Amino acid sequence: MYAIIDIETTGGSPRNEKITEIAIFIHDGQKVTDEFVTLINPEKKIPYYITQLTGIDNEMVSRAPKFYEVAKRIVELTENKIFVAHNVSFDYNFVKNEYKQLGYNYNRDKLCTIQLSRKLIPGKRSYSLGNLCNEIGIKINGRHRAAGDALATVKLFEILLEINEDEIISNPKLSGNYLAEIHPNLDPQKVKDLPEVAGVYYFYSDKNELIYIGKSKNIHSRIIQHFSNNKSKKAIEMKLQIADISYELTGSELIAMLLESDEIKKNKPVFNRTQRRSIFTYGLYYHIDENGYINFSIEKNNKEALPLTSFSSQAEGKRKLYKYIEEYILCQKLCGLYKTNGACFHYEIMECNGACIGEEDKGSYNVRAQKLIDKYTFENRNFLVIDDGRNEDEKSVVLVQNGKYIGFGYLDNNPDNSNLDFVLDCVKSYPDNREVQQIIRTYIRKHNTKIIQL
């Protein structure tokens, strides 16, 4: 059974905006069997540009029911149904957030008719609802109104069913078949009720042994992927052993990655084989020699010094350093990869500027060598990374001091950034290593994250 849904809203953000209209058509795969359409009082002003788009104004919704007044009806209608919409994430996230504000965890399997249309009706110029319906001959009576758009989605869905019903019905994420072969001790409802937020999750065997640790921006979706994965012997073996699941919410994807890294190193679960190597045997180190040149070397890791980066073997480290020699035009001899009292081999073939024999000035050489160091060090050595918290009243914080990862914690939304002692009290200490430093650097580079210099 399917619940084909369309909503209108006061804006584009589920966190800040509200639903103004909802239309639900229940479909059994053959025909519509039930329907529910209503305006909703969003309890906030509808912007003029939204009224221009939808035709829904403040007067129209002033006497409409508030969401909590129709919430029970929506739950009952959509229970045990697949939530279908055109660009399903938009509609689903708004509905889910409305329930979140009521203290209810709304979870449904989802199907996006945009994604399905791209697969089953390829080659169209646009897959927006209006353009796609116009191209394939579906008339929309009431564009940008919930009922009109939902009915158009119904007609589109029926066309998709006719093209390839098996593609929809046999999809394990939609049919629920991903739970058909789960361990008898694992409650299927526990899987369905998993939160759709960032965190770290844990799989246990029937002997209560921790067998896998993972992280995700969406715990629910990621774990469903595990149960739907039949691509390898290892994946099948693991999912058949999962007898229980637990999780820890982090709010922040960065915190989830940092916590996962630490938890895997501490617990070494059997199915985290590729991530279990908590000891990277060799590292990339550097020092300044008696002539003032920056030298690099691949050495065995030790507890006294933190390498720029680490490797599982000396051979891996050397292969990487050879690439850096070419990338930054470094000297083989000063990188410890060419033993000689004179010039290195690259100098002989004019690929080294002569730092090995003092021909290149240490200043110009060190500028390039420093670029390699900078690749693996923080631009600023003392800072806080402020990110999402586990709820709307807090923020997460990652602390780096003297270029070293200290740990993470949670603060209220307006932390006293000038009081470092206060921040330190909130931060739980975690080990520093090359992996977590790389996680932080990469996350900062890819995300518009708030950084506070200390």
pLDDT digits (tens, 9 = 90+) for 119-160: 899 998 899 999 999 999 999 998 899 999 999 999 999 999
Confirm or reject CATH 3.40.50.970 for domain 2-174, answering yes or no.
no
What is the per-residue pLDDT for 175?
47
Q: Would the pLDDT of 277 be above 70?
A: no
The fraction of the chain above a pLDDT of 90, given in percent, is 60
- pLDDT-derived band at 173 (thresholds 50, 70, 90) equals low
Question: What radius of gyration do the chain's Cα atoms show?
Answer: 28
Taking a C-beta distance cutoff of 8 angstroms, is the pair 219, 197 a contact? yes
Question: Which pTM does this prediction carry?
Answer: 0.60
Q: Would the pLDDT of 415 be above 70?
A: no
Which residues, at least 6 apart from 9, have a Cβ–Cβ distance to it below 8 Å? 17, 18, 19, 20, 42, 50, 94
State the residue for tokens 């046999």: 170
Tens-place pLDDT, residues 184-213:
899 888 888 888 889 999 999 999 999 999
State the residue for tokens 């070397």: 297
What is the per-residue pLDDT for 278?
47
The rounded distance, in Å, linking the Cα atoms of 158 and 133 is 13
Q: Would the pLDDT of 276 be above 60?
A: no
DSSP 148-163: HHHHHHHHHHHHHHHH
User: CA nearest 272: which of 284, 285, 262?
Assistant: 262
Tokens in use for 443? 């996350």
Confirm or reject CATH 3.40.710.10 for domain 177-269, answering yes or no.
no
Which residues, at least 6 apart from 300, have a Cβ–Cβ distance to it below 8 Å? 281, 282, 283
Taking a C-beta distance cutoff of 8 angstroms, is the pair 156, 91 a contact? no
Q: Is the dihedral of CA 430, 431, 436, 437 positive or negative?
A: positive
- In 250-380, DSSP assigns E strands to 282-288, 294-300, 309-311
Tokens in use for 46? 């509808």
Give all strands of the β-sheet with 282-288 in edge-to-edge order.
Answer: 294-300, 282-288, 309-311
The rounded distance, in Å, linking the Cα atoms of 285 and 416 is 37
Cα–Cα separations (whole angstroms), residue 282 to 68, 124, 320, 432? 59, 53, 12, 16
What is the per-residue pLDDT for 44?
95
The rounded distance, in Å, linking the Cα atoms of 190 and 244 is 9
What is the per-residue pLDDT for 133?
93
Instruction: Decide which of 380 and 100 is more confident.
Output: 100
Q: Check for a shared fold between 2-174 and 177-269.
A: no
- pLDDT-derived band at 274 (thresholds 50, 70, 90) equals low
Strands 210-216 and 199-204: antiparallel
Q: Which amino acid, one-letter code, is at 141? A: N
Which range has the worst mean pLDDT, 38-42, 80-84, 122-126, 171-175?
A: 171-175
Which range has the worst mean pLDDT, 14-23, 260-269, 307-316?
A: 307-316
Which range has the worst mean pLDDT, 27-41, 80-94, 262-276?
A: 262-276
Tokens in use for 161? 């069913």
Tokens in use for 153? 């989605």
The distance in angstroms from the start CA to the end CA of the chain is 56
Q: Where are the domains of the chain?
A: 2-174, 177-269, 282-375, 383-453
Tokens in use for 74? 């929506």
